Amino acid sequence: MRIRRRWAIPVLGLVAFSGCTDEIPTSEGGGDIPVDAVSYELHLPFESFGRDFQVFGGFGTQADLPGAVVAHEWQGELEARTLIRFGGLPATVDARPPDGEEDETEASEYVPVSGQVVIRFDPDRVEGGSLFELEGGSTQTDWHRRSASWEMAVDTIGDRRPWPEPGGGPVRPAGVELWDSAEGDSVIFAVDSVTVAEWEDLNRDDRGFLLRSLTEGSRLHIADAQLRVQVRPTIDPDTLIEVSTTERELTFIYSPDPPLSTSAFQIGGAPSRRATFRIVLPETLEGDEELCALVTCPVPINADLLVYAGLELRTRESENPGFQPFDSIAVDIRPALSPDRLPRSPLGPPILADAEVLSPELFQGEPGVVEIPMTRYVRDLFRGENPQTGDPVPSTLAILTEFEPWDLEFGTFQGPGTEGAPSLRLIFTLSDGVRLP
């Protein structure tokens, strides 16, 4: 337990100070009542308050993300390919019958002639230059959208089938296209009528399109995909009509799969990771000689004396450069309601009013310090119950992203036993004979 700073503050200022329940205090305030209170700021090392640290993975799948990723040797290690499965095309098209008037149409069945797979990228999430070689093809192996991975085409309970070749198996080639990100946000692959007909059968588990990058050091984020098909109506075979489907399901598969850390807080990724630990708070404060001259030592610590509490985390670079955060990460903290059921314990409501949004720069180069205010929770933990409901306060916390999964990358923080281990910042107000609100 390290005492960092101590000062005397008039009581009136302390009342205002303690009113900001989950704000990081930045000033001492002021007041006129000539009764002083001593404030102590403590930084508790993790080993003095943290217990049962664990990191778990496997929450959600990459299929839950709104977009997808293709990468080739990104940061020297990441390979990612995207599987796309399109929804059904319309059953009929409106076409003019042979003897009909110019503006007369009726519903007609049709025969597909050719198709195009149009893939749109997020221009703000393109890395590795501006010119990219992209390869596409039609999948030839049954695969499961939610469980497919680099090694496994299907990985469900009672049914595990690997790809014939890791990374999506063999495909019917649709060619290699050169995409210049400076000239547009989309790349187009031509597919033949046989492929379109296969994709129209929604009962086929092998239907799908596999996209990969051939450009070393590339990483591209797919925002959307569409299938456009040229068809001939049966009642007017001399006419070509374009139909399309915007219904699509994206699943990206990647390699390597970084192992869970046993010494660092990891959050995020797809499937997502989260860290858990249990908080044990001290009951008394052992003050120095000067403090003990003002108040009776050891000083009992309770919720009434707590002005502020914040969890301090120190970021660090990932051991897997290809999984460094590419975008902001929103950090959430929730209590584990049944710690004995971890990692599948249900979680309580967020401790934070708003998730703490961290920039990707915090996880690159020099480590940074992130302080997450949690005064209200720590006060309740001192009391032993929620004052509004009377329910016991869970002492085990889960640190995770606001949504799981959040993105392919995960944030890494120094864990217990390391130089930058988490710490708990506490500020107490102490007054001999004066009970502070």
For 61-118, what is each residue's pLDDT tens digit?
999 998 899 999 999 999 999 999 999 999 898 888 877 666 777 888 899 999 999 9
User: What b/e sequence results for 259-296 when a residue is b if at least 16 CB atoms lie within 10 Å of its CB, and e otherwise?
Assistant: eebeebbbbbbbbbbbbbbbbebeeebebeeebeebbe
Residue 337 pLDDT greater than 50, yes or no = yes
- Listed in sequence order, the residues at least 6 apart from 358 whose beta carbon sits closer than 8 Å to its beta carbon are 315, 325, 328, 329, 330, 331, 370, 411
Q: What is the mean pLDDT of residues 272-287?
A: 89
Strands (E) located in 143-260: 152-156, 159-162, 171-180, 186-192, 209-213, 218-233, 241-245, 248-255
**Cβ atoms of 213 and 72 closer than 8 Å:** yes
Distance CA 242, CA 112 (A): 9
Residue 7 pLDDT greater than 70, yes or no = no
Task: Give the side-chain half-sphere CA count within 13 A for 402.
Answer: 11
Return the DSSP state at 366.
S
More confident residue, 21 or 221: 221
pLDDT at res. 437? 39
pLDDT at res. 155? 95
The pair of three-digit structure tokens given for residue 23, joined into one six-digit string:
């704000």
Task: Kindly report the average pLDDT of the chain as a whole number.
Answer: 87
pLDDT of 45-58, one tens digit each? 999 999 999 999 99
Could you give the 3-state DSSP secondary structure of residue 194?
helix
Distance CA 345, CA 360 (A): 29
pLDDT at res. 304? 86
Could you give the 3-state DSSP secondary structure of residue 141?
coil
**Cβ atoms of 215 and 133 closer than 8 Å:** yes
Q: Phi and psi dihedrals of 138, rounded to 5? A: -90, 130
pLDDT at res. 402? 94
Percent of the chain with pLDDT over 90: 65
pLDDT at res. 3? 38
Q: Which residues pair with 410 in a beta bridge?
A: 268
Residue 436 pLDDT greater than 90, yes or no = no
pTM (two decimals): 0.81
Distance CA 428, CA 124 (A): 45
Distance CA 348, CA 150 (A): 34
Could you give the 3-state DSSP secondary structure of residue 283?
coil
- The H-assigned helical ranges of 229-357 are 289-292
The pair of three-digit structure tokens given for residue 123, joined into one six-digit string:
């221009």
